[in-house]
Structure 1
Amino acid sequence: MFETLKNAWKIQDLRNKMLFTLAIILIFRFGAVAVPVPYLDPAAMQNMINGGGNLLGFINILSGGAFERATLFALGISPYITASIVIQLLTVAIPALERMAKEGEDGRKKINKITRYSTLGLGVLQAIAYYVMLRNENAVKYVSGFSGVFAAVVIVGSFTLGGLIVMWLGERIDEKGIGNGISMMLFSGIVSRGPHVIAMMYQYLKIGDQYYFFVPAIIALFVVVIGFIVLMTQAERRIPVTYAKRVVGRKMYGGQSTHIPIKVNMSGVMPIIFASSLLAIPGTIKAFVDPQATGFWGKLLGVFDYNKPVYAILYFLLIIAFNYFYVAIQYNPLEMANNLRRNNGAIPGIRPGKPTSDFIAKVISKVTLVGAIFLGLIAILPIALGAIAKMNIALGGTTIIIVVGVALDFVRQLESQMMMRHYKGFLE
């Protein structure tokens, strides 16, 4: 990885792209740290997040701590991520969007435009919902009269504008930088919390007792987990395919053997994001209505707290379910079998048509199960460790998968860029 970065830095074009990406990330971090939103009390917002069990903690992690600081980029990229997921799901359900997705570059531009407008709408709704929650938790300094109305407009407008600026910054990275823009925003926000995690581990060491064992053990375990994530992210099941020879005009095509790669972690972190968002709803409702802790609703909503066993079990099962759902909308075995038949391709030992479709579906189902269990175990690992060691594991499995996946994708894009330029030092 470091050798790839070193070689890429020697190429002026790639160096300019990396510097541009770094500049955009610095702008994002500046807005997340040093541009406060008026009329908000950061101390009250930190108390809400420290309560745990609600969506705000997840949003705060994705925004790199911007939410607890009550800054401009408090919403981070969550509106854009939600809009992208919704449009992606609707592309499968709505024929007009599906046709648009198959129109190539023009269709992609139209879908991106729809996603931007959806981001604006979701950003406004999300900002209003957070304003109501913050007002109920006494995190807003003015809540009555004209001052209250003006404060509401400023807070909602600032949150929405911040979400749109983050989306625009991510698109600039896609256009002129290296890597996926939104992923780089996520990466920078999560990595920025590294010093906070180190300080927290140091505080546990100062306490002493059992933490002298647990802190080094957790650090060593997370190093092993990172290696395991890299292995599983790059792992794939290859379905062999052979193409028959055919004559077109005066040329002969086909006759070669290849494979269809089926990645073990086909869905990335999307199932974890879906499951986290769904399980965060009870905690968010709890923050809205503030029920009595000893009452029926207080006990019911308390079952879904982050540190309860029920949360971990439901989290694991939902990740498996969403993993199958996400893979089902991404891969169509019947379409894959028809494409093989049209191109005179076949899987050795499998008849064309429905047998091929059934075989591909069976392979995808098995690989999906392995990938789903992998995601589920990584996601609940910090919860289990926190319960055993009585510690607050700040960086969860979701964030580790995001960081590792984005780093691998960034290096992969650098390597492909250097190969396009026939960089001799890289090919040696």
Structure 2
Amino acid sequence: MASAAEQLAANMNVEAFSKATELHKRLLFTMVALIIYRVGCYIPIPGIDIAAFSQVFQSQAKGIFGMINMFSGGAVQRMAVFSLNVMPYISASIIVQLLGTVYPPWEKMRKEGGEAGRKTLNQYTRYLTVVLALFQSFGIAMGLQSSHVVDHAGLFFTISTVATLTGGTLFLMWLGEQITSRGVGNGVSLVIFAGIVAVFPRYMAQAFSLATTGAMSGGVLIVIFALVIAVTVAIVFMERSQRRLLVQYPKRQVGNRMFGGDTSFLPLKINTSGVIPPIFASSLLLLPATVMGFAANANLPPWLQWLPGAVGELQHGRPLFMLLYGALIVFFCFFYTSVVFNPEDTAENLRKYGGFMPGIKPGRRTAEYLDYVLTRLTVIGAAYIAIVCLLPEALIGFYNAPFYMGGTSVLIVVSVTMDTVTQIQSHLLAHQYEGLIKKSKLRGNRGR
């Protein structure tokens, strides 16, 4: 017999959606916020010669600038106020979370501080975001002036560019937090999702144009689109896959009645970390490359002449890029999984409520078993994410395709879509429960 939750889920339809007014407000807020973000991607920073900058960008579009432009939804190509996007915020989150595992005061705050500790760490993340955004925007301002794409170079341009780009990042950080609390889905992930989806049509048109002009064979185009479909199917399958661990609760006698004796499952996802590893890995690769890329055309001192060569190695399809990218993805898969899931806490909660796994002693043995299972699941999840992200990169590098719809983009788009749909269903389910509670109260009042 289906449970009450399953029956409610089966009854969710267009009529139920039309009655969920709270969900309508959340969806409307999310759409308006993403529209505001997209408008900001078309507003250039003051003092830029757009024609000259377009030429500089096209000369470096096949490199790291192409990846940055993809994550920013085309804002870098226009040198818009949102060119930095939320990458400084993501980089700051990485640093704070890393320090939260090795710096004792922050580790204690993260584990024992509760909600207040998390709020304090989030505040530190915001402060660090400002520092990183100032550093990156200053590097961009100096690089733009050295590339001769500025109408009037000087101190005023540097200050205005730093203020504009840093303000754009902080606004997007605030907007993402508002989407998370007042909209639907994870705000930062949705901002990145909107940027990637916005450039989809242009890259598809570019691919068809290359095929029609003979710059790319039709077979290669078919292989690339077939790969995108295969990767999408693999992502959906793996993201929905989970290992269910059997948990039993003993029977208890209270008075003359017996309670308990239930059986449930502890679900462990194969990919516990979600889309965080590729986003974090991309952010760490883009952080130094943003400044180094703009410095490629500058008159560098002799001891910095190696910078342009280093930037050249951080290209799609290059061995160094794929090696660093794959290593960072694997590292963040294990790191973020250890942050979001603590086997000792889970085992303690099971023991506290009387639950146990058949054949395993409660307490330390259960924690060791959970760690054993989770480690092996993370190995599979890390391998899956690394393959999804690196295989298209290798093919793009092999065929020298000038567009960047790699596995990372598909992973982010599919995963964020699934997460958003799940949250919409959760809001609908909550609305259904509220409706049932109101009906039961009305019937109870009539019975009186």
Contact residue 283 and residue 301 of structure 1 kept, 8 A? no
Equivalences for residues 26-425 of structure 1 within 5 A: 26-33=35-42, 35-43=43-51, 45-46=53-54, 47-48=56-57, 51=60, 56-98=65-107, 100-101=109-110, 104-143=114-153, 148-208=154-214, 211-246=217-252, 254-280=260-286, 281=288, 285=292, 287-288=294-295, 302-422=312-432
Task: Give the residue type in structure 2 aligned to 1:276.
Answer: S
Contact residue 64 and residue 314 of structure 2 kept, 8 A? no
Contact residue 320 and residue 373 of structure 1 kept, 8 A? yes
Give 1:298 shift.
6.1
**1:318/1:392 CA distance change after superposition, 3 Å:** same
- Give the TM-score, by structure 1 length: 0.86
Task: Give the residue type in structure 2 aligned to 1:41.
Answer: D
Quote the sequence identity (%): 36
Give 1:103 shift.
5.0
Task: Give the residue type in structure 2 aligned to 1:220.
Answer: A
Contact residue 54 and residue 284 of structure 1 kept, 8 A? no
Structure 2: any 5+ residue segments left out of the alignment?
Answer: 1-11, 436-448
Deviation string 1:297-328 (CA, Å, 9 cap, x unpaired) is 76666444323234324432332233223323
Give 1:31 shift.
0.9
**1:192/1:124 CA distance change after superposition, 3 Å:** same
Task: Give the residue type in structure 1 aligned to 2:92.
Answer: A
Task: Give the residue type in structure 1 aligned to 2:295.
Answer: F
Contact residue 49 and residue 56 of structure 1 kept, 8 A? no
Contact residue 80 and residue 119 of structure 1 kept, 8 A? yes
Q: Which moved more, 1:52-61 or 1:375-384?
A: 52-61
- Give the TM-score, by structure 2 length: 0.82
**SS in structure 2 opposite 1:239?**
strand
**1:44/1:276 CA distance change after superposition, 3 Å:** farther
**Whole-Å separation in 2 of the counterparts to 1:351 and 1:116:** 43
Alignment RMSD, CA only?
3.2
Task: Give the residue type in structure 2 aligned to 1:197.
Answer: Y
**1:10/1:418 CA distance change after superposition, 3 Å:** same
Q: In the alignment, which residue of structure 1 is the partner of 2:33?
A: 24
Bigger Rg, structure 1 or 2: 2
Contact residue 241 and residue 270 of structure 2 kept, 8 A? yes
**Whole-Å separation in 2 of the counterparts to 1:54 and 1:246:** 65
Q: Which moved more, 1:48-57 or 1:63-72?
A: 48-57
